[in-house]
A = this chain, B = another copy of it.
Amino acid sequence: MRIGILTGGGDCPGLNAVIRAVVRKGIGEHGDEIVGFRDGWRGAIEGDTVPLDLAAVRGILPRGGTVLGTSRTNPYALDDGGDRVLATLDRLGIDALIPIGGEDTLGVATRLAEAGVAVVGVPKTIDNDLDATDYTFGFDTAVGVAMEAIDRLHTTGDSHHRTLVVEVMGRHAGWIALHAGMAGGANVVLIPEKPFDLDAVIAHCRHRFESGFSPIVVVSEGAAPKDGGLMLSAGERDAFGHVRLGGIGAALAAVIEERTNREARAVVLGHVQRGGTPSPFDRVLATRFGLAAIDAVHDGESGIMVALRGTDIVRVRLSEATAQLKLVPPERYAEVEVFFG
């Protein structure tokens, strides 16, 4: 078969592991021809391709990012984008398509499947907020980067008797903050799912100082206070992309410093969390996703994506998969609250 593959949306450690697995099994066991589209749907619209043979995927397993490049281009946001993708697939004689991406990318995949294209998706979100799969690759790596930062910050915080606020990724879901905060022994963890009570945050910081140590506050970029007005407007005032860079973290540090009357500093981890070599967990998960995707294609599946359930890779309908975000449930947040203060 002639199989197309592309990576869309934000990059994620593990994308290359998926590509490698698809190519190794597709060529090695099924005698497929694998065609890579450059920069996600842009390549599919413009017919910008790169041939993926065994040599092309050699040595990419441990590398972050994606050798195919990525973009946020959405064909259906353009007048004739969808038709152009269909035309490209037709012209290149693509028998099946394996798009690797998050909600947007898989949303396009769903519509293409409805249009008759054989599509097997691979879920990708570093925030781990995609329903229908226990985990997505990249998440464990991001948590690891954040945890190592927290580990480092404990000693400097204690030495200076200052609060350290660590802002991590997570616009809508607080999974990275939850896991990194629990793994790093944070004294406060704030997530988008639960608007926080500033007074309680201050109380936890004070309690930590009273115990002779310094607080580490982990906050998702999308977290907000119950009465968020002040800080958000402050964020808006920022003229140099600092909201994107760490509005809430910096704002929170400023407020904590003022109200605890002790120095506070913010650290915004930003893009370091999504770059670099994947963790073992992510390399294995991404590889298994790739193997399962090529198998599904050869089983004649379409309109599905692969997913992790327990230790098994399963197949789920794309329509269900992208139906809703997977948010941190209250009982999971309650687990980390045990360690507050």
Contact = CB atoms under 8 A, between A and B. Distances in A.
- Of the candidates A70, A71, A134, A159, the one having the most CB atoms from chain B within 10 angstroms of its own CB is A159
At the interface, is chain A mostly helix, strand, loop or mixed? helix
Interface in A118-153: 134-135, 140, 143-145, 147-149, 151-153
Contact of A271 (B164, B180, B281, B310): B164
B250 A155 contact: no
Contacts of A147: 280, 283
Nearest to A10: B160
A289 to B, nearest CB: 11
Question: How many residues of A sit at the interface, in one of the four size bands?
Answer: 35 or more
A203 interface: no
A159 B69 contact: yes
- Copies of this protein in the complex: 4
Given A239-B237, A310-B310, A153 B272 contact: yes
Interface string A228-267: 0000001101111110111100110110000000000111
B145 A284 contact: no
Contacts of A25: 338
A234 B71 CA distance: 30
Interface string A50-68: 0000000010011111100
A188 to B, nearest CB: 15
Given A156-B274, A234-B240, A246 B247 contact: no
Contacts of A269: 272
A223 to B, nearest CB: 15
Given A65-B158, A288-B335, 19 more contacts: A10-B160, A58-B213, A61-B183, A64-B156, A65-B154, A69-B159, A69-B160, A144-B279, A144-B280, A151-B276, A153-B272, A183-B280, A237-B239, A242-B242, A242-B245, A245-B246, A267-B270, A268-B268, A279-B281
23 contacts: A7-B159, A28-B338, A58-B213, A62-B185, A63-B155, A64-B155, A70-B159, A134-B310, A134-B311, A144-B280, A149-B272, A152-B272, A156-B271, A234-B239, A235-B240, A240-B253, A241-B253, A241-B265, A245-B246, A266-B270, A267-B270, A269-B272, A310-B310
